[in-house]
Structure 1
Amino acid sequence: MTSSLDTLFTWIRTESPTHDVAGVNLMMDLVVAQMTDAPVAVERIRGEQGLGDALILRAGPQRDEPAILVMSHLDTVHPIGTIADDLPLRVEGDRLYGPGVYDMKGGAYFALEAFKDVARKGNAARPMIFLVTPDEEIGSPMTRPIIEDLGRRSAFALVTEPARDGGKIVTSRKGVGRFDVHVEGRPAHAGSRHQDGRNAIYEAARQILAIEALTDYARGITTTVGMVSGGTAVNTIPQHCQFPVDLRVETVADGEALTAAIMGLKAHHPDMKVTVTGDMNRPPYECSDETAKLFDHAKALAAEIGFDLVSSPRAGGGSDGNFTAAIGIPTLDGLGIDGDGAHTLNEYGLISSIAPRQRLMQRLLETLR
């Protein structure tokens, strides 16, 4: 475990925010090096859209049958310098602190170790594919087509996002929609020509109220406007105002209905213009009967290992598992490290969770037939 932790420390020190191509590609280099002494075929896909590279690792029996697909991302939300200033790498009891350790370098590392171990032993139940992505934290714009293509050729998908709320597994997630709203009015001097202006910020405020009113907790629908930008000077009627919208839904039908409502926003004044772009970023991940069976199988394996595997309530955040679940692939998520503080300056993973969850991943790769 000590040598494994030393390697994980190197991963955490290698800061890799999504848009830092050099940092993300250094992480990909570490994965390639990790596989050099195992019978694993490595395909490196050059990054596009200003993003880092992706990796597809293949191992296991060379049979023409659907594979077991494992997915991890190595991009994080923490900017370069976080480890030096706000979230230093440190161990406090069972807690390992550092940027990205919980979401999701800890889980990715031990899943890759399990993948490599099964490849060496030659006892995989099916062909194995491990997809390592550079862009999950921004919605996987580059790798979504790869995920869906590999998913359609797979029997199961296993996702190493962090465990939830004390080690719970994830079998369903909300769908995520992202939209950008632009309001255009008419500029004017706020003192001498106020009546000639059409205040874009005022109109945007009315639109924001309408958007926030779409939230329906009973149906699991939330709409959030978290940022607003507009205006040029305190004494000028603003011509422009922009804001993004975050949408979360539990069902495909609600995703379609809420998308139509947001895309259909209209200005209240004929001299104003409202333009909306965007769509569902990730479809809802609903717990199918086959996913429930996959969870039951994992739960039985965990019991053999010595811990109780519990399914969490529907997770609010999206993951790449949303894509595989939406195309009908039984998907188990939250297989990563236990801990807390994702996307915060108190992020940590529990060291004691690594060995049993690595063993669980190994047993899944050995038994999913």
Structure 2
Amino acid sequence: MFIFMGVPGLAELLISVPQAARSVESLIGELKVLVHAESPSRDHLLLERCAGLISALGEVNLGISPQIEIDEGVPRILFDFGAHPQGRGVLILCHYDTVWEQGAWRQDLFSNDAGVIRGPGAFDMKAGILQGFRALRLLREAGQSLAGVRVLVTGDEEVGSGTSRGPIEALAKGMDAVLVLEASADGGTLKTARKGISIYRLEIQGLASHTGLDLDKGVNATVEAAHQVLAVSALADPVAGTSVTPTVLRSGTTTNTVPARALLDLDVRAWTVPELERVDAALRALLPNLPGIRLRLDGGINRPPLEPAASAGLYALSQEVAAGLAIDPPGSAAVGGASDGNFTAGIGVPTLDGLGAVGGGAHSTEEYMLVGAIAERTALLAGIVQRILQGDFER
């Protein structure tokens, strides 16, 4: 249940957009440092380097030391301001890993051209981390106690949050709200619904043979893979918004050998849990087409959907805060991408996503963010946190 105790003007916002604007230049300098600290999800050494920088920047801005845990080589950073006297709480959720391998960004790592910043991970989502730090710093300097606030920055969101899901859910339990500083949707809109996602790998085991001498003795895993690609693709339901996408396919060893093994990666996305479960059951019921083929399916449902009801109350609060700041209220969007906010919404905690940088082109070399939006976004986040801590939003 959501209870709105406040109306615009009930509690005077401590932070204005002009106040936030005064910190933009230094934030851009910090962002340049973080973008140059490349942090691909599977490179633990680079993750550790970037995590060290984030920890230092967070300590400077927040005035407290972080707790750092390394799980399977992936550093996770937590800033914890302690318990709120009335038990209120807000979890601010971020990640610092990127989809970019070191050196994959074939242009200057960081550029700021007429207020448009480009760089690997600048939009998704290193700017969001720094906007979060700056919003809390401004609140702290304005006299707002941050007791009840936790900031979690993870390092494996882009690859499924294998080491982070448990800690995220544990920290979110009992919180009034989770604010996710992922990049915005188009035009700066907040993400009030996200598809759930499932990740699978189908292993196809055949039998190798010489293509010239013993062709009939082989069982071709590549041919079987072609059958399975068509079978799994047919499980999609465009009307329901459910996609089943074969992505990476690997098979074969040499050009004169019948392929003995193939691996097929699958990406499944849906708006509802029943749709994810329908596809999951169908994938587990797949049968071979060729005699002698064996199938093995690994994986499953990775993130539940972030359904609109999970964000409705916080989205309404964001509109109130925007009115108090005299800025255009952010719109809302339902998006196909998933985030760690799916986990917190899935356990019943109100969750609002897309509060980070405004821009576009995530996961592409066109990735960019707009400097002109930083101050408003920082002030908006500060205002939402303030209102939650003051009791203007209850779970």
The two structures have a TM-score, normalised by structure 1, of 0.94
- Matched position secondary structure for 1:345: coil
Q: CA deviation at 1:124?
A: 4.6
Aligned pair partner of 1:323 in 319, 322, 343: 343
Query: In the alignment, is residue 104 of structure 1 matched against residue 133 of structure 2?
Result: no
Please say if residues 124 and 183 of structure 2, whose CA atoms lie closer than 8 Å, have aligned partners that are also in contact. yes
Query: In the alignment, is residue 340 of structure 1 matched against residue 360 of structure 2?
Result: yes
- Greater mean deviation of Cα atoms: 122-131 or 108-117: 122-131
Query: In the alignment, is residue 134 of structure 1 matched against residue 155 of structure 2?
Result: yes
Query: In the alignment, is residue 271 of structure 1 matched against residue 271 of structure 2?
Result: no
Q: Does the C-alpha gap of structure 1 residues 6 and 40 become closer, same or farther in structure 2, counting only changes over 3 Å?
A: closer
Q: CA deviation at 1:40?
A: 4.7
Q: CA deviation at 1:194?
A: 1.7
Aligned pair partner of 1:23 in 46, 54, 63: 46
Letter in 1 for 2:317: H
* Residue-by-residue CA offset, 1:159-211 (whole Å, 9 max, x unaligned): 01100111010011001100011111122221222222211111111011000
The residue correspondences of 1:184-195 to structure 2 (distance < 5 A) are: 184-195=205-216
- Greater mean deviation of Cα atoms: 185-194 or 339-348: 185-194
Query: In the alignment, is residue 48 of structure 1 matched against residue 71 of structure 2?
Result: yes
Q: Which residue of 2 aligns with 1:225?
A: 246
Q: In structure 1, what is the Cα distance between the partners aligned to 2:237 and 2:58?
A: 47
Q: In structure 1, what is the Cα distance between the partners aligned to 2:176 and 2:118?
A: 35
The residue correspondences of 1:1-369 to structure 2 (distance < 5 A) are: 1-37=24-60, 40-51=63-74, 53-59=75-81, 62-63=84-85, 65-82=87-104, 85-124=106-145, 127-288=148-309, 291-305=311-325, 306-312=327-333, 314-368=334-388, 369=391
Letter in 1 for 2:284: M
- Greater mean deviation of Cα atoms: 303-312 or 18-27: 18-27
Percent identity of equivalent pairs: 33
Q: Does the C-alpha gap of structure 1 residues 38 and 206 become closer, same or farther in structure 2, counting only changes over 3 Å?
A: closer
Number of aligned residues: 365
* Residue-by-residue CA offset, 1:301-336 (whole Å, 9 max, x unaligned): 123321221001x21111000000000111000001
Q: Which runs of 5+ in 1 are unaligned?
A: none
Q: CA deviation at 1:87?
A: 4.6
Letter in 2 for 1:21: H
* Residue-by-residue CA offset, 1:115-153 (whole Å, 9 max, x unaligned): 233234442586101001111111111110000001112
Letter in 2 for 1:245: L
Q: Which runs of 5+ in 2 are unaligned?
A: 1-23
Q: CA deviation at 1:240?
A: 0.8
Q: CA deviation at 1:109?
A: 0.7
The two structures have a TM-score, normalised by structure 2, of 0.88
Please say if residues 59 and 66 of structure 2, whose CA atoms lie closer than 8 Å, have aligned partners that are also in contact. no
Q: CA deviation at 1:256?
A: 1.0
- Greater mean deviation of Cα atoms: 61-70 or 292-301: 61-70
Q: In structure 2, what is the Cα distance between the partners aligned to 1:125 and 1:8?
A: 24
Please say if residues 124 and 365 of structure 1, whose CA atoms lie closer than 8 Å, have aligned partners that are also in contact. no
Q: Does the C-alpha gap of structure 1 residues 271 and 22 become closer, same or farther in structure 2, counting only changes over 3 Å?
A: closer
